[in-house]
Chain A
Amino acid sequence: MEVDELMCLPRLPRVAVCGGTHGNELSGVYLVRELLKVEKKAVEEEEEPVSVMIVLSNPRATQQCHRYVDTDLNRCFTHATLNGPISDTDPYEIIRSRELNALLGPKGSRQAVDLVCDLHNTTANMGMCFITYSDCDWICLHIFRHLQKEIPDIPMRFIHFDVSNKESYSLDSVGKHGFAMEIGPQPHGVVRSNIYTAMKGGVQHMLDWVRLFNSGAIFRGGFVDVFTMVKHIDYPRDSVTHNITAAIHPHLQDRDFCLLHPDDPLFQTFSGETLRYKGKEPLYPFFINECAYYEKGIALSLARKRRVMIPSIRVETEQEQQANHQQYSSEDEN
């Protein structure tokens, strides 16, 4: 593919902005509440090139200011969970994931919203990150590039989890396109003004991009550095109690996305001993010391970085859309 090649992609008429998927990640909670307040006032606006749904994903967890009530909502969006048998004793979040799938999906269908932006916070020093399942979703990659340009004073990275559509488990996988906007560091249960403002700006610029895209603007291609998750490393643990026996080493703490080399310090035990990275390949650490991951057995995640070339894109015209539709229909007939 040439950098000059121009790819035409379908319009994005419906966007969903979701916050409080984890009830104690407060920037998204307060931003969604603020956007809902503003939305009430802006009902009589002139015709918008995009309709925006604002959603508080996990109201019960938000009300309690906990990550979840019964189970992590952001692991409840696999096809299997969404379409599995329904029972009276289902955990709250499974019931809720099905409600959200009906509202924003169904996942995988033509009725699904075009873009889901799911707002998250992390205790890790990650700046602003996009987290997606694809490294070739040009919509998400172009939105990312747009935000990098519009918000240059915030470190921004694009993280890719190489998980198939069948296995994808998070809320952002319900839309035709989707990504999590993850911003840190912020303690859970706390809202930091600078983090809130960054998230507000990120969402605003994302919506501006969608409006520009739908209105026919051409977005030039180029290169994006993509971090693809390779593996996780757990804390060393006591074999009997399963309690952690070391903390992230002070030299690694807060150094998300700084290359970790073989033999670099990883952990410091409570008696002061240093444990070192035993891998053979230098990798990029992220989600270093994320609070919610202690129970998932993850002290840090590791990624490879590579440069991805993205094409120039613009929205399909109506004729192009009809031509494509006819092509699909005739393919269906055959």
Chain B
Amino acid sequence: MEPVSFPPLSSIAICGGTHGNELTGVYLVREMQKQKVDKIGSVSISTVLSNPRAVDVCRRYTETDLNRCFTDALLSSPITDSTPYEVKRAQELNAQLGPKGSEKAVDMLIDLHNTTSNMGLCLIFYTVDYLNLQIFKYIQSKMPSVPVRAMQLEIPLSDAYSLDALGKHSFSIEVGPQPNGVLRADIFNIVKEAVDHTIAWLQEFNSGSTFEAGEVEAFTVVKSVDYPRDPVTGEISAAIHPQLQDNDFKLLKPGDPVFLSFSGETVKHEGEELYPLFVNECAYYEKKIAFHLAQKRTFKFPSIRMKKD
């Protein structure tokens, strides 16, 4: 692959509290604001508490999920009295950190999340972006004692609905397991370290270093599976099976148990071999997702460095 060069990455936004009860991001952003972190070497840093109202009440959202409000359609929808708070807030954030897809948008946006699933440290990308892949590889190499993985959702930019769609290059850092509304020190330390490594990489990049070509494995989501539900009440009638619980990223084969009903029956996986992710994520019960299923793919990337004028 031919080496690729990119313009300097001089502005980064670190966002936490996009979901108000995912506390690592909330407290990391607050700490960075308390320490008045706004520039590290060549990189100027904005720290943003994305959904302050949801943070205040320690809920995922107040009216609608903020992290689904960044589609082109919602960002340009007219504001009325009945517009949900989060739709308005998304437009404010778009003005501050975007506009989405424009030259003025922040160079890099990192959105901090937690999950109740046992996903370790997971970077979430929407597009195959050589920069993101290089940073992923770098973080993996710097944090060998933590499971570091990447998940990819293939969505075109106009349909991209999450906060990280605002930055020119972006990803979410999703770390679990941590219950909503709880702050674990070990998870906080992991996220802080990942953010520090990202900023260190940006400085190296901006100083003109070349990062070698390579390849990484990442997981591309292909479908989602809902819980079995009562046909009348719509309530779930089974829990994630103990053999699947906490086994995110472990290959699921046909015949493997996936659910155990409340009356004791086992439901098995049917269909192709795939990798489960977001197994038993609290916020996904209402989105009708018990887990995602993904293929594991290898992504190659070229050597990259900063574009010199």
Chain A residues with a Cβ under 8 A of chain B: 30-31, 33-34, 37, 65, 123, 185, 187-194, 196-197, 243-244, 247-250, 253, 268, 270-271, 289, 291-292, 294
Contacts and interface: CB of A to CB of B under 8 A. Distances in A.
B185 A250 contact: yes
A194 B242 CA distance: 6
Contact of B182 (A249, A250, A291): A291
23 contacts: A30-B236, A34-B263, A37-B263, A123-B182, A189-B283, A189-B285, A192-B239, A192-B240, A193-B242, A193-B245, A194-B242, A244-B27, A247-B184, A247-B185, A247-B188, A250-B186, A253-B185, A270-B27, A289-B182, A289-B184, A291-B179, A291-B182, A294-B181
Contacts of B30: 243, 270
Contacts of A187: 116, 177, 179-180, 182, 282
A40 to B, nearest CB: 13
B180 A250 contact: no
A54 B280 CA distance: 27
A188 B180 contact: yes
A250 B180 CA distance: 18
Contacts of A34: 262-263
B235 A33 contact: yes
A325 to B, nearest CB: 43
A212 B260 CA distance: 30
A29 B179 CA distance: 18
Nearest to A35: B262
Given A30-B262, A190-B280, A194-B245, A248 B179 contact: no
Q: Which 9 A-B pairs have the closest CB atoms?
A: A187-B179, A247-B185, A193-B239, A270-B31, A189-B282, A291-B181, A34-B262, A123-B179, A187-B116
A123 B180 CA distance: 10
Interface in B250-268: 260, 262-263
A296 to B, nearest CB: 13
Given A196-B262, A291-B182, A250 B245 contact: no
A192 B245 contact: yes
A232 to B, nearest CB: 17
Interface in B52-111: 58
Interface residues of B, number: 32
Interface in B200-251: 235-236, 239-242, 245
Contacts of B282: 187-190
B245 to A, nearest CB: 6
Nearest to A244: B183
B240 to A, nearest CB: 6
A105 to B, nearest CB: 29
Contact of A249 (B27, B185, B241): B185
A265 to B, nearest CB: 10
Contact of B184 (A33, A196, A248): A248
B44 interface: no
Interface string B145-182: 00000000000000000000000000000000101111
A33 B28 CA distance: 40
Contacts of A292: 181
A248 B187 CA distance: 11
A42 to B, nearest CB: 13
Contacts of B58: 294
Contacts of A268: 185, 189
A250 B189 CA distance: 10
Given A192-B240, A294-B181, 8 more contacts: A33-B235, A187-B182, A190-B179, A192-B280, A194-B245, A197-B260, A250-B186, A253-B184
B282 to A, nearest CB: 4
A34 B233 CA distance: 13
A197 B260 CA distance: 10
A292 B182 CA distance: 9
Interface in B105-126: 116
B116 A270 contact: no
A187 B22 CA distance: 12
A17 to B, nearest CB: 15
B181 A188 contact: yes
Interface string B25-37: 0011011000100
Contacts of B179: 123, 185, 187-188, 190, 291
Contacts of B31: 270-271
A33, A187, A292 — which one has the most chain B CB atoms within 10 A of its CB?
A187
A123 B114 CA distance: 15
Contacts of B283: 189
Contact of B241 (A33, A65, A193): A193
Nearest to A30: B262
Contact of A193 (B181, B189, B260): B260
B31, B180, B235, B245 — which one has the most chain A CB atoms within 10 A of its CB?
B180
Nearest to B259: A193
Contacts of B241: 193
Contacts of A188: 179-181, 282
Given A253-B186, A271-B31, A189 B280 contact: no
Contacts of A243: 30
A300 B33 CA distance: 28
Interface string B186-200: 101100000000000
